[in-house]
Amino acid sequence: MLGYRELLKVEEFFQTTKAMLDTRPVYHQQDEAIRGHVFCSFLALVLRKGLEVRLAAVRLKCQGRWLMDLDRLQEIETEQEGKRFILRTP
């Protein structure tokens, strides 16, 4: 049952990611392109799972369509009085 739930998460993730990146439909002409597409999709899935595991370790949870907000993430590096700071949006 747990394996089936994970499969549903994978399906939901692929649907969300494809919608967010506006990649549908994708027509591949060469086998290399198909392998590249599958590799990138799998890599994205592995990265998301890693993030979820790390968040769970600190008792946080991904809520809603958090991937949609990644384009709003910004970071700047600044220096003041000889100290370096990295500032990020919430």
pLDDT for 13 equals: 72
- Total structural domains within the chain: 1
Query: pTM of whole model > 0.75?
Result: no
| 64 pLDDT more than 60 | no
| 15 pLDDT more than 70 | yes
Phi, psi dihedrals of residue 80, rounded to the nearest 5°: -145, 125
Please choose, from the candidates 67, 86, 58, 52, the residue with its C-alpha nearest in 3D space to the C-alpha of residue 17: 67
Please write the tens of the pLDDT for every residue from 16-39: 766 666 666 667 788 888 888 888
State the residue range of the domain holding 41: 2-88
Please write the tens of the pLDDT for every residue from 44-53: 778 878 888 8
| 4 pLDDT more than 80 | no
